[in-house]
Amino acid sequence: MKITFPDKNVREFPEGTTSMEIAKSISEGLARNVLAAKVNGEVRDLNRPITSDSNLELLTWDSAEGKSTMWHSSAHLMAEALESFYPGIKFWVGPPVDNGFYYDVDLGGQAISSEDFKKIEDKMLELARQNNPYVRKEMSKAEAVKYFTEKNDEYKLDLLNNLEDGSITFYTQGNFTDLCRGPHIPSTGTIKAVKLTTLAGAYWKGDEKNKQLTRIYGITFPKQKELDEYLHMLEEAKKRDHRKLGKELEIFMFDDEVGPGLPLWLPNGGVIIEQLENLAKRTEQEAGYFRVRTPHLAKESMYITTGHLPYYAESMFPPMEMDGEKYYLKPMNCPHHHKIFGNMNPSYRDLPIRLAEYGTCYRYEQSGELFGLMRVRCLQMNDAHIYCTEDQFASEFRAVNEMYLKYFKIFGIEKYVMRFSTHSKEKLGKKYVDNVDLWLKTEDMVRRVLIESNIPYIEVADEAAFYGPKIDVQVWSAIGREFTLATNQVDFAVPARFGLTYRDSDNEMKTPICIHRAPLGTHERFIGFLIEHYAGNFPLWLSPKQVSILPISDKFNDFAKSVSQLLNNYDIRALVDERGEKIGRKIRDAEVKKVPFMLVVGEKEQAENKVSVRKHGEGDLGAMSPEEFATMVKNEINKQLHK
Ligand SMILES: [Zn+2]
Ligand SMILES: [Zn+2]
């Protein structure tokens, strides 16, 4: 049989070879590290034989699916450990989650607290060291029902109810057997570090009329070092929590009467927003974008044309009735921009047309889902739509990617991945626009640009948008936490629904392709990310206050104000601390507020027309004239913005 690897390399193997044997034939190192196999898009156990020509991806810890296979297997390991401490314990479901896994259990009246975590972790490690294989066994429904009836396990019997005969599998490792469709890692020995993290109550099947089960969360790693780093990252993330720092640094607030999920930006937040918008405007102007402005609402009929209604109605604010019409707050800016493009009546010579706007959108998120600036109901988006011909698509798409890379440099984002979602052939006409040629052609163009621009990316089948391939941009903050900040979508369907056309060189009316892009995401999520990324120490260009001028006593307030005036003329954000506090106190306060520069002025400075400069985090830079200082600041800002 022919096995095709992700790099399109093809090798022949005898029918019935397992993925593990294939891994071994590549290298012993790979065989040690591989956790699961993706065979024709399905994640499976490594020791299951492959019986026909297949695409094969060997999943290691570096892949999300490798991680979730290990974490789900860890849930079984935790269950085995729990059984040894809590006789009669019953298990509901134990899935992997973003960071680790959980198991919902019925302890049958026995008590558990986080003080028990240590002994459970130790037991898990002891069982892991036994390196027991995870053994898969197919079972008939009757056998399975008999097994759990004897165990008196109403939970697994309930799960079995919804399973069809012929599709039922059990997995056993050591002394623990569970009803599970898998997949699992080959054996427990891969699990080298264990941490149980949280206990929570969880109603059976999420229904509060049902019994409350205990949900135990944990996470495991293939190396102790990785667990140590993870715990350190969590500690740092707590210190850098954007909700905590956002309050301390007076960046944003929420108010009950304004409403949940609707942030109010304080003056410091206002400056940050303005700086980000200035950066975006300059960058987009250089890249040939036009700026537009559109209202925050539109009539129902437009959202019927776009297809948002009725399918997206749950994510929109309820309508307002006015003059016998229904109006909706806009959940996205695209339709408004499409209207502007339509009005331009362009010919092929006018394309590409790039329309940009920091547009404010409103989305209904359930109150339980709201989280600081990360999940809000009102968002200001770094939005733009690029309308182009098929011939122009590749270069436009490349330019968008270059813009992302430029921003990453400016913000010091070193780790990023583009998650490239493609269609699925089987779902054309259902989940996806039914035009296979256009899908393949566009996906191929996107893939080529990603490869040529040397951008790290992963390709995921069957996660595209309805109307075209999608790219989610994942970035990591300075402490290694992952954020999805921005998406970038190709749209070859909606322009047609909207009747958008341009007159081509042959005088025919044609439909353009549209690229939706938002490299800086929304102000809300991006600033939330930046607060953690910088730990509140914003780079000079972005700092709400750049310079704090600290007179030693009120005698020097006038001189301080003249310095501040001069700096303001250079467009530098400077403020005088005129309080009657001691200089030591003023310095400490400016440090706490993370102001990049402090200028101390007293007798000597005033006499010589100089300022004594202290840099946040670096200390004394000595005395210089206010003009020299201003030039230094301007140079530094310039450097930060032109990396
Ligand atoms: Zn399982
Ligand atoms: Zn859009």
Predicted confidence (pLDDT) per residue in 103-155, tens digit = 999 999 999 999 999 999 999 999 999 999 999 999 999 999 999 999 899 99
pLDDT at 268 over 90: yes
Q: Tell me the C-alpha distance between 557 and 91, whole Å.
A: 70
pLDDT of residue 577: 96
pLDDT of residue 84: 95
Expressed in angstroms and rounded, the spacing between residue 491 Cα and the centre of ligand 2 is 9
pLDDT of residue 387: 97
Strands 135-138 and 169-173: antiparallel
Expressed in angstroms and rounded, the spacing between residue 334 Cα and the centre of ligand 2 is 4
pLDDT, tens digit, 9 for 90 and up, residues 520-554: 999 999 999 999 999 999 999 999 999 999 999 99
Expressed in angstroms and rounded, the spacing between residue 154 Cα and the centre of ligand 1 is 18
Nearest ligand to the CA of 74 is 1
Nearest ligand to the CA of 185 is 1
Strands 353-362 and 509-510: unpaired
**Burial (CB count <10 Å: 0-12, 13-18, 19+), residue 383:** buried
Expressed in angstroms and rounded, the spacing between residue 212 Cα and the centre of ligand 1 is 22
pLDDT, tens digit, 9 for 90 and up, residues 419-437: 999 999 888 888 888 889 9
Q: Residue 570's pLDDT band (boundaries 50, 70, 90)?
A: very high
Nearest ligand to the CA of 386 is 2
Q: What is the length of the chain?
A: 643
Which residues does 17 contact at the CB level (< 8 Å), separation at least 6?
Answer: 1, 49, 50
Q: Residue 344's pLDDT band (boundaries 50, 70, 90)?
A: very high
**Burial (CB count <10 Å: 0-12, 13-18, 19+), residue 390:** middle
Nearest ligand to the CA of 468 is 2
Q: Residue 332's pLDDT band (boundaries 50, 70, 90)?
A: very high
Which residue did the predictor score with more confidence, 371 or 7? Answer: 371
Expressed in angstroms and rounded, the spacing between residue 171 Cα and the centre of ligand 1 is 7
Q: Residue 489's pLDDT band (boundaries 50, 70, 90)?
A: very high
Most confident of 271-285, 357-371, 581-595: 271-285
Question: What are the two backbone dihedrals, phi and then psi, of residue 119, each rounded to the nearest 5 degrees?
Answer: -70, -30
pLDDT, tens digit, 9 for 90 and up, residues 290-304: 999 999 999 999 999
pLDDT at 492 over 90: no
Coil, helix or strand for 624?
strand
Nearest ligand to the CA of 306 is 2
Give the mean model confidence (pLDDT) for residues 265-271: 98
pLDDT at 609 over 90: yes
Give the mean model confidence (pLDDT) for residues 439-460: 91
The whole-chain average pLDDT of the chain stands at: 94
Nearest ligand to the CA of 308 is 2
Nearest ligand to the CA of 359 is 2
pLDDT of residue 346: 96
Nearest ligand to the CA of 43 is 1
Expressed in angstroms and rounded, the spacing between residue 132 Cα and the centre of ligand 2 is 51
Expressed in angstroms and rounded, the spacing between residue 497 Cα and the centre of ligand 1 is 45
Expressed in angstroms and rounded, the spacing between residue 227 Cα and the centre of ligand 1 is 22
pLDDT of residue 515: 95
Q: How far is CA 190 from CA 68, 100, 242, 281, 308, in A?
A: 13, 15, 35, 50, 46
Reference 524, options 335, 316, 347, 380; nearest CA is 380
pLDDT of residue 363: 95
Expressed in angstroms and rounded, the spacing between residue 378 Cα and the centre of ligand 2 is 16
> Please, which residues bridge with residue 104 across strands?
215
Nearest ligand to the CA of 103 is 1
Give the mean model confidence (pLDDT) for residues 23-43: 94
Q: Tell me the C-alpha distance between 511 and 499, whole Å.
A: 8
Nearest ligand to the CA of 94 is 1
Expressed in angstroms and rounded, the spacing between residue 475 Cα and the centre of ligand 1 is 30
Give the mean model confidence (pLDDT) for residues 216-222: 97
Expressed in angstroms and rounded, the spacing between residue 260 Cα and the centre of ligand 2 is 25
pLDDT at 193 over 90: yes
Expressed in angstroms and rounded, the spacing between residue 185 Cα and the centre of ligand 1 is 10
Take residue 531 and report the two structure tokens written for it: 């607060």
Place of tokens 């968008």: 400
pTM (two decimals): 0.84
Q: Tell me the C-alpha distance between 153 and 160, whole Å.
A: 11
pLDDT at 487 over 90: no
pLDDT of residue 306: 82
pLDDT of residue 367: 87
Take residue 501 and report the two structure tokens written for it: 């056309």
Expressed in angstroms and rounded, the spacing between residue 223 Cα and the centre of ligand 1 is 22
Coil, helix or strand for 585?
helix
Rg, Å, the chain Cα set: 29
Which residues does 363 contact at the CB level (< 8 Å), separation at least 6?
Answer: 315, 316, 317, 331, 377, 379
Expressed in angstroms and rounded, the spacing between residue 336 Cα and the centre of ligand 2 is 9
Expressed in angstroms and rounded, the spacing between residue 366 Cα and the centre of ligand 2 is 23
pLDDT at 162 over 90: no
Expressed in angstroms and rounded, the spacing between residue 74 Cα and the centre of ligand 1 is 9
Expressed in angstroms and rounded, the spacing between residue 72 Cα and the centre of ligand 1 is 6
**Burial (CB count <10 Å: 0-12, 13-18, 19+), residue 323:** exposed
Expressed in angstroms and rounded, the spacing between residue 487 Cα and the centre of ligand 2 is 10
pLDDT at 466 over 90: no
Q: Tell me the C-alpha distance between 91 and 107, whole Å.
A: 9
Expressed in angstroms and rounded, the spacing between residue 516 Cα and the centre of ligand 1 is 39
Place of tokens 């301007």: 634
pLDDT of residue 493: 82
Q: Tell me the C-alpha distance between 314 and 466, whole Å.
A: 18
Coil, helix or strand for 435?
coil
Coil, helix or strand for 467?
coil
Q: Residue 313's pLDDT band (boundaries 50, 70, 90)?
A: confident
Helices 523-534/267-286 angle, 10° precision: 110
**Residue 105 belongs to what H/E stretch?**
strand 100-106
Nearest ligand to the CA of 385 is 2
